[in-house]
Structure 1
Amino acid sequence: MQVSEVTKIRRKVLAEVSRMALEGDLVENIADILSTVVSEDGPRYRCCVHKERAVLKDRINMALSQPIGTPLTEAAGRALAGERADLPAVNLLPEACDRCPIDKFLVTDACRNCLAHNCIASCPKKAIMVVQNRAYIDKTACIECGMCKRSCAYGAIIEISRPCERACDLKAIVAGSDRRAVIDYDKCVQCGACKVACPFGAISERSDIVQLIQRIKAGHSVYALLAPAFIGQFGPKVRPEQIVGAIGRLGFHSVREVALGADAVALAEAGEFARAVPAEQPYLTTSCCPAFVAMVEKHLPDAGERVSTTVSPMVAAAKTVKEEDPSATVVFIGPCVAKKAEARRYPDLIDFVLTFEELAAMFVGAGLNVAEIEAGAHISVASRDGIGFARAGGVTQAVCDTVAKLAPGAELKPQRAEGLADCLDMLSKMQRGSLDANFLEAMACTGGCVGGPGTMADPRLTAKLLELYAAAAQVAAAPDNPAAKAENDLHRRKNSAG
């Protein structure tokens, strides 16, 4: 998987912040990151070292979960005290935004200055003229409707969009009046696609690494909920038990599989489908992807009642831990940025969310080489289907297998969507009744969770390694897993008592 300079800088900042927090000298040395990451000798990515360090200050604030512009020593002190600013999961770094001075429509050298002049004829604002035997677009008059591009017989007019805008399927990020990117949080679902797309690293996520490290150092019982997409994230030859062992070396009290929570979700969601479809509603959608759930709430609220009421595997796993140990600090570790937003809906269950990238930064900060960890064999307590939740089609497989075992008379006609544009399209069709399906698996990321913005490995490789890992599971489906049934029964009794 290609690692860009943007990614290298982001990971170096996170690793340095982790190291200083672990060594106990964060406040004293936080400003040193400015000179270690960006030196006078280069490399230089922006106009001058001062601009580089202004951007870096914003990035450090995000790594400390503090507002942009907070003095670094003050931000470090707040982070060590456990303070977390009320920030969205995804944020713009103003100093890093290049303001992309891009004109949306551009006439290329393919222009033939033809006799028809379809581009001129089609322009509603007469913004096109011929200058030196070539069409020219007057940007002061152009309204960027695209009629010229569509009418050109040679395809000589091209459309250029800003990377962040192009990556956002929900049109939640646009260029403001000064061309600097602006995130519309009324539309944004915190999926992190814009963060991955921006070649200037101007979009970042807030991190709670320091606050988590402080909780570990204080001796709290910190439980790691490890998402099944962890397979292959630290190299194809790194074994699952080595990753689990390395997490233990960081000071975590225990590591639990979110895949077991996925088994509990499969049981609950299959039961909900058999009960509700078609008796109460025409179809049901999955609820495990928080970006998709937020998309429905913000962009297609009329379909909200069709989204499963079953909690996500993260929340299901967290419930089990909190029921066993009410004083536990629960940390979800996975590939997803949107989980940081979802966690805020369950403050009594989820204390922190880390991406795999942030976990890797903690390993580096602690001086741990995962590939060298000696650990015993790791045997998953989840089913093959539960582990498969992490890839596209996995939830469908799990629910189909569970329905077939527990409600064989139910007719399940599944469809799946990857990417928010596809999710919106599929769901709109189901709302209109134009799609012959009664169950929709919806994933915001292409490929499923293995393609999330917090991953470190090629999604195709992860998906293959995940299949091999799942194939070694002791049971095939959730109904065959006594641990999942016990977990589901525990949740049901707790909900009834509440």
Structure 2
Amino acid sequence: MLHETEITQIRRKVLSELSRLAFTHSLEEQVQDILTTVVTENGSRYRCCVHKERAVLKERINLALSQDMTLPLQEAARRALEQHKANMPVINVIPEACDECPIDKFIVTDACRNCLAHNCIASCPKKAIKVIQNRAYIDKAMCIECGLCKRSCRYGAIIEIGRPCERSCSLGAISSADERRVSINYDRCVACGNCKLACPFGAIDEQSFIVQVIQQLRSGARIYAILAPSFVGQFGVKIKPGQVVNGLRKIGFYEVQEVAVGADAVAMAEALELSEAVPAAKEFMTTSCCPAFVAMVEKHMPDLVEHVSTTPSPMVMLGKKIKAEDPSAVIVFIGPCTAKKMETKKSGGIIDFSLTFEELDAMLTGAGVRLADMPEEGYGTQATYEGNLFACAGGVAKAVISATAAMGMNAAITTQQCDGLENCKTLLTQVKRGKIKAELVEGMACSGGCVNGPGVLADCRVTAKQVERFAVQGQAGNI
């Protein structure tokens, strides 16, 4: 399992407590108690005082209830129980938690030798650098943070310090607002979740629908859990896929299906679309299964939108199939991705809720269900080897090529694969300019693919091997 920071522990404690109270019908009456059980008078202190700690925690609870962070806790709990979901972005700043990190971007260190060349002074367009007490000094009032001084120093004595959240966002969606508090530009944000992982104060988190889902489970409705292919290995290497499925049924899910089945349908559809569109209508096509990648193209490279496949994602593809067979179905996607919550809102009611593996783990904990105690009963994947490998970088392109060959079409297609948004931007730019040849471009927002999403529980290197093993055994019928 991944190393749990204290931020992770607090977040999971909040989600688990909300789940427990929701399952025991006592959320509205006891939600206030979470403030004193998670932040105790004699417990660990991360901020100035217990009052500040609880103010931060209160906003975190509200966000986990998918409610406005200014609402009183009991009202927020009541609204969540009534299935209300605040109209807010998926990724949000918790105002009380933001440390308002210093923004002096370039700093002269003790490595400065006050050399004769003074390249830093010569390079500065605003003359913001002076020598004081035998050492270079940057006047912050004059500095425009161009970075020329850092690049010119032969000793490397000038360093660049950026906010962790800003550094994590390759799309420039994070900035410091008034009084240094972080701000998210939602015109640029794609809900990838990198900033949430990067903030060392836990000041950025995601909207959660965990209580709303539990209420649906308690309602007696037919609730379908659709599991992303990367679910294998998330809950520990000893936990079998069948135990995960049985755990979901134990807490009230009517049926459990694999999104990998939707991935198989996507591979066939994209193979057909590729054969018809490239090169007849356009020079290349990109995949469309990653919502953060698609949003990046839409918001940052709009001239390339026409190159994105029009095929729905595996999540939506499977959701359509289920809703066609059971119009009353309530569908809950469970996976590693925060951007899927954004895609869910845009799905037009095909998908009703999205949860991360972290949220599912909290639900199981709140319900008192241990996966290790669940019966294993041999569970085999209903999808192909290729469909399961949608979870790993490179897997989508391979599946499309395999589908092309299976349908008797030209499989001699040049593909390129990119993972990580910065890498995706670079590759798409090069393909567009003709510097790199590609007829099919696979884009994944997370490095390594979905197995390394922001909502995972386990190391992606381990889960990638587990996913492939599950896919191979499924082909052989050995699970």
The TM-score range, normalised by the shorter chain, is: over 0.9
Q: Which residue of 1 aligns with 2:94?
A: 93
- How far apart, CA to CA, are the structure 1 residues paired with 2:381 and 2:127? 66
Counterpart residue number, 2:357: 356
- Answer yes or no: is the 8 Å Cα contact 1:383–1:475 preserved in 2: no
Residue 34 (structure 2) pairs with residue 24 (structure 1): no
User: 1:21, 1:177 → 2: CA distance?
Assistant: 38
Equivalent residue, structure 2, for 1:468: 469
Which stretches of structure 1, 4 residues or more, deviate above 3 A after TM superposition?
none
- TM-fit CA distance, 1:431: 1.7
Between the aligned partners of 2:119 and 2:265, the Cα distance in structure 1 is 60
- AA paired with 2:298? E
Give the Cα separation in 2 of the matches to 1:460 and 1:23.
37
What corresponds to 1:137 in structure 2?
138
Tell me the distance in 2 between the aligned counterparts of 1:475 and 1:410: 25
Tell me which residue corresponds to 1:189. Answer: 190
So what's the TM-score if we normalise by structure 1?
0.94
- Report the AA paired with residue 222 of structure 2: S
Greater displacement, 102-111 / 182-191: 102-111
In 2, Cα distance between the equivalents of 1:8 and 1:68?
21
Counterpart of 2:80 in structure 1 is 79
Q: Would you say 1:437 and 2:443 are equivalent positions?
A: no
Assess if the C-alpha contact under 8 Å between 1:93 and 1:203 holds in 2: yes
Query: Counterpart of 2:104?
Result: 103
Question: Match for residue 235 of structure 2?
Answer: 234
The 3-state SS of whatever aligns with 1:158 is strand
Distance in 2 (alpha carbons) for counterparts of 1:405 and 1:81 = 48
> For 1:246, what is the secondary structure of its paired residue?
helix
Distance 1:194 1:245, change over 3 A: same
- Aligned to 1:30, the other structure's residue is in SS state helix
CA distance in 2: counterparts of 1:278 and 1:405, whole angstroms: 20
State TM-score, norm by structure 2.
0.98
User: 1:47-104 deviations in whole A, cap 9, x for unaligned?
Assistant: 1101100000110001100011110000000000110001111000000000001411
Q: Work out whether residues 402 and 411 of structure 2, in 8 Å CA contact, stay in contact via their aligned partners in 1.
A: no
CA separation in 2, counterparts of 1:338 and 1:307?
17
SS in 2 for 1:248: helix
Return the alpha-carbon distance in structure 1 between the equivalents of residues 372 and 228 of structure 2: 19
Whole-Å separation in 2 of the counterparts to 1:460 and 1:82: 37
Offset of residue 176 of structure 1: 1.2
How far the C-alpha of 1:314 sits from its partner, in A, is 0.2
Tell me, yes or no, if the aligned pair for 1:274 and 1:407 is still in contact at 8 Å.
no
In 1, the alpha carbon distance for the partners of 2:410 and 2:158 equals 56
- AA matched with 1:62: L
Match of 2:61 in 1: 60
Q: CA deviation at 1:475?
A: 7.3
Structure 1 residue 410 displacement after superposition: 4.8
1:42-441 equivalence runs, <5 A: 42-441=43-442
Deviations 1:364-407 (A, max 9, x none): 00011111111311011100000000000110110111112224
Provide the rounded CA distance (Å) in 2 between the counterparts of 1:371 and 1:347.
37
Q: Distance in 2 between the 1:475 and 1:223 partners?
A: 27
Deviation at 1:411, TM superposition (A): 3.2
- Aligned to 2:310, the other structure's residue is in SS state coil
Tell which deviates more after alignment, 467-476 or 332-341.
Answer: 467-476
- Aligned pair count reads 476
Amino acid at match of 2:445: A
CA contact (8 A) 2:103 2:180 kept: no
SS of the counterpart of 1:225?
strand
In structure 2, the residue matched to 1:492 is none
Amino acid in the other structure paired with 1:351: D
Q: What is the one-letter code of the residue matched to 1:377? A: G
Give secondary structure in 2 for the equivalent of 1:148.
helix
Equivalent position of 1:34 in the other structure = 35
The runs of 5 or more residues in structure 1 that have no matched partner are: 477-498
**Does the CA contact (< 8 Å) of 2:240 and 2:376 recur in 1?**
no
Q: Check the 8 A contact 1:383/1:474 in 2, yes or no.
A: yes
Once the two structures are TM-superposed, the CA of residue 190 in structure 1 deviates from its matched residue by 0.6
Contact 2:413 2:439 in 1 (8 A): yes
1:450 aligns with 2:451: yes
Distance 1:33 1:102 in 2: 34
Residues 384 and 475, structure 1, Cα contact 8 Å, conserved in 2: no
> Could you tell me how far 1:178 is from its partner in structure 2?
1.1
Instruction: Quote the residue 1:482 is aligned against.
Output: none
One-letter amino acid of the structure 1 residue matched with residue 211 of structure 2: V
Aligned equivalents of 2:329, 2:31: Cα separation in 1? 30
Deviations 1:85-142 (A, max 9, x none): 0111100000000000141101111111000000001111111111111111111111
2:82 counterpart letter in structure 1: A
Indicate the SS of the match to 1:174. strand
Please give the alpha-carbon distance, in whole angstroms, between the structure 1 residues aligned to 2:117 and 2:178: 36
Report the counterpart of residue 490 of structure 1 in structure 2: none
Letter in 2 for 1:273: L
C-alpha separation in 2, matches of 1:213 and 1:151: 58
What is the alpha-carbon distance in structure 2 between the residues aligned to residue 137 and residue 256 of structure 1? 59
Secondary structure of the equivalent of 1:204?
strand
Q: Distance in 1 between matches of 2:178 and 2:432?
A: 36
